[in-house]
Amino acid sequence: MVLAAGLGERMRPLTLTMPKPLVTLAGRALLDHVLDRLAASGIKTAVVNIHYFPDQLEAHLDSRRGRPPETIISDERGVLLNTGGGTKRALPLLGPGPFFIHNADSVWSEVAVPALTRMLRKWDPAAMDCLLLLAPVATSIGYTARGDFAMSQDGRLARRGADEVVPFAFAGVSLCDERLFRDSPEGKFSLNLLWDRALAAGRLYGIRLDGYWMHVGTPDALAEAEAAFEREGA
């Protein structure tokens, strides 16, 4: 599931005339970075939701026809459903799982074993409701906040308290199956609602990203990521 329906407000003025997933980084649309990474990890099919400048996204996906992964559109033109609601709408297209939920602007450099491969190896549905990819705050590019999660040695997560600084930021990718969405609300809601439920049950886990995560949330952060691509050869 590639989340591409958002308004990209923090990336303005670049997103005044295009959706954020089509903003370019190192000569390629952010969406292409994501789809190519999924294909390289063996993912055969990607469901992409659309809302903001949907015709541009449809045309771009059509231009990729013949390149893996196969893409299926989940149309949210009528209402923006947020991360949880958008994924729930797409469940009939995703199947029972497990499946990745991947932000369309999540980009990082890889090391020997790709991050998505490591996530699949770690996935344990008997213990987990959701597995999050986490980036060390200290080495992330373009990230200036205080982190999102602390992580125990076995991978269980705890959220950052109001006055705390924690080591890890959510890097924009999670792995789950349809069970995460049981008894979830109808309509618009955030995945955070389901993560909090998994946290309360001790079933929200994380895995550390070994490469460098690039937080491309703003034009300034995009410029930092461009420099990182030149420096790291990402």
Note the pTM of the prediction, 2 decimals: 0.94
pLDDT at 232: 60
Residues 37-81 pLDDT 10s: 999 999 999 999 999 999 999 999 999 999 999 999 999 998 999
Give the tens place of pLDDT for each residue, 213-226: 988 878 888 888 88
Domain ranges for the chain? 2-232
Domain 2-232 homologous superfamily, CATH: Spore Coat Polysaccharide Biosynthesis Protein SpsA; Chain A (3.90.550.10)
State the maximum Cα–Cα separation within the chain, in Å, rounded to a whole number.
49
